[in-house]
Amino acid sequence: MRDILQVADEAYFLGAKGGWLDERVKNFFPQFEREAKKKNIKMWHLFDAEVQTQFPEILQYVGKNYKFLPKNYSTPAAVDIFGDHVNILSSIHLGGLDEDFSFTVIVNQQIADSFRAWFRLMWDVCPEESPKKRQRHVV
């Protein structure tokens, strides 16, 4: 989260699960949220499908720029893309990280641009939520 604030560029989250609310980092999250808004950092989230039913409370933090990956495409990993950074997380579950998670950071503009292009493709093929359904997520 500190890197996202430092880079202060648009951020894309693939396979998002609400890991920001993990016990180990959730105390920093309110500060992150304030700083990100102050710096006008736009964020897009492609959540695993299970977030809709099993962890919808995370949606109150992400604004309107989110969609859900189709069922059967959930994984125990996630990818964060911002600026020239690609962060790859493994052993992540709804709302947190397992004890044995790994976190890989790649700082390379070409790789980040490539991941961003792939994210946009997935964003474009994932269906929009209906406004009625989206309203249920607002807490």
Task: Quote the CA–CA distance of 3 and 79 in Å, as a whole number.
Answer: 14
pLDDT tens digit sequence for 9-46: 999 999 999 887 788 877 888 899 899 999 999 999 99
For the stretch 63-83, pLDDT in tens is 889 999 999 999 999 999 999
pLDDT tens for each residue of 90-104: 999 888 888 899 999
Whole-prediction pTM value? 0.88
Work out whether the CA dihedral 6, 62, 100, 114 comes out positive or negative. Answer: negative
Q: How far, in Å, CA of 112 to CA of 128, rounded? A: 25
**Cα dihedral 87, 109, 49, 25 sign:** positive
Superfamily of domain 2-137: Endonuclease Chain A (3.30.870.10)
